[in-house]
Amino acid sequence: MENNLGYRKLNVFQKADELVIEVYEVTKEFPREELFGLISQMRRCAVSVPANIVEGYGKKTVKEQLQFCYNARGSLSELEYYIDLSFKLKYIDQKQYEQIKGVRDDVGRLLNGFISSLSK
């Protein structure tokens, strides 16, 4: 069980977890008709990022760990599109857009750094 708790110390996990909360908060205000559309997609992508980091953390080989990090990065890229789309559809305002995009960008930088550290 010790191994499963260690991921909580990772900055990349902490920031990805923050991103999930941001996505859930912002999507609460989306139109009801988006419940099974954009809301669901955004939340799924957001949750996938820290979930993949955690799952990778529990793997034994670096190759396996990296694969889950790449999955997390893919979900983060997908989320980037949904954030942009939400802004274009006026579901979020400029301030919300900049806030959530900033957190998403921070997660991306941390994830890329984490991937680099595993690859050494």
Residue 1: what pLDDT? 36
Residue 51: what pLDDT? 98
Q: What angle is formed at CA 38 by the lines to CA 95 and CA 76, rounded to 5 degrees?
A: 70
120 residues of the chain, pLDDT tens digit each: 345 568 999 999 999 999 999 999 999 999 999 999 999 999 999 999 999 999 999 999 999 999 999 999 999 999 999 999 999 999 999 999 999 999 999 999 999 999 999 998
Instruction: In whole angstroms, give the CA distance from residue 48 to residue 42.
Output: 10
Residue 2: what pLDDT? 45
Which domains does the chain show, CATH number per domain? 2-119 (1.20.1440.60)
| Residue count of the chain | 120
Residue 57: what pLDDT? 94
The torsion angles phi and psi of 93, rounded to 5 degrees, stand at -90, 180
Residue 7: what pLDDT? 94
Q: What is the pTM of this model?
A: 0.93
